[in-house]
């Protein structure tokens, strides 16, 4: 597992998301997304699952 470094976007695991009706939900990496949010990371990579 890589160490989370908010100033290094490559260290942040992409978030797996899914569209559920009109909503977008997190499928995986909830903790990483929340940590990035707390550190003020403005953007993250995501994977849109089917």
* Domain count within the chain: 1
Tokens coding 27: 């499928």
Task: Judge whether 17 lies within some domain.
Answer: yes
Task: Judge whether 5 lies within some domain.
Answer: no
Task: Judge whether 34 lies within some domain.
Answer: yes
Task: Judge whether 4 lies within some domain.
Answer: no
Q: What is the pLDDT averaged over residues 36-49?
A: 88
Task: Judge whether 6 lies within some domain.
Answer: no
**Range list of β-strands (E), the chain:** 15-20, 23-28, 46-48
Among all chains, which residue has been given the structure tokens 């100033």? 7
Looking at residue 50, what is its pLDDT? 64
Task: Judge whether 3 lies within some domain.
Answer: no
Q: DSSP state, 12?
A: S
Looking at residue 19, what is its pLDDT? 92
Looking at residue 10, what is its pLDDT? 79
User: Is the whole model's pTM more than 0.75, yes or no?
Assistant: no
Task: Judge whether 1 lies within some domain.
Answer: no
Residue 48: closest CA among 12, 11, 15: 15
Residue numbers of the domain that contains 29: 12-48
């Amino acid at each position: 597992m890589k160490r989370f470094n908010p100033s290094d976007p490559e260290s942040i695991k992409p978030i797996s998301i899914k569209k559920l009706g009109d909503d977008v939900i997190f499928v995986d990496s909830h903790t990483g997304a929340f940590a990035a949010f707390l550190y003020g990371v403005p953007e993250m990579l995501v994977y849109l699952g089917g």
